[in-house]
Amino acid sequence: MKLSARSRYAARLLLALAMHKGDGPVRTSDLADRTGITAQFIEQIIRPLKQAGMVASVRGASGGHLLDRQPAAITLGEIVRTMEGSANIASCLDCDTACDRTGDCLTRTAWERASRAMERELDAITLADLMPGGDCCATPCADIS
């Protein structure tokens, strides 16, 4: 399973805002430079993050976007659910009528268990964990067995 670019980019944007928390609003053009995400795509991604209370925007010449909560209060799980609607790895878990085999599917329980395990892990990682000096990346990914 792969997360959409929207979820991955949302995490990248929020992390960039978290790393500049307290420095005032960050303009979309600056976010684009810092993250490598186009300004047009940033505006699409920011909208649901604002609705979820993770980002605030300030209008005007010195305006831009701000992280609206503490980095430790925003998890990757919340970001994924905001951008994807759920963290389920199979569409049949989102809607019982998505598949006509839902009632007797032998693999549905496995997909549900895997989805919940992934969701628990994503909920355990905050933006603060991902920041330099945070708990998440103390061990490089290549060294995790």
**The domain spanning residue 52 has which CATH number?**
1.10.10.10
> Which tokens sit at 69?
């909560």
**What are 55's strand-pairing partners?**
67
Quick one: average pLDDT of 45-52?
A: 96
In a domain, 140, yes or no: no
> pLDDT > 70: what percent of the chain?
89
In a domain, 76, yes or no: yes
In a domain, 91, yes or no: no
Domain containing residue 55? 1-86+127-134
> pLDDT > 90: what percent of the chain?
56
**In total, how many domains does the chain have?**
1
Quick one: average pLDDT of 84-104?
A: 74
pLDDT at 1 over 80: no
In a domain, 120, yes or no: no
CA nearest to 118, candidates 83, 92, 69, 81: 81
pLDDT band at 21 (very low <50, low <70, confident <90, very high): confident
Quick one: average pLDDT of 58-78?
A: 93
Amino acid 34 reads R
In a domain, 26, yes or no: yes
pLDDT at 140 over 80: no
pTM summary value: 0.82
Rounded distance between C-alpha atoms, residue 36 and residue 14, angstroms: 13
In a domain, 20, yes or no: yes
In a domain, 107, yes or no: no
54 with 14: CB under 8 angstroms? yes
In a domain, 33, yes or no: yes
Quick one: average pLDDT of 16-35?
A: 92
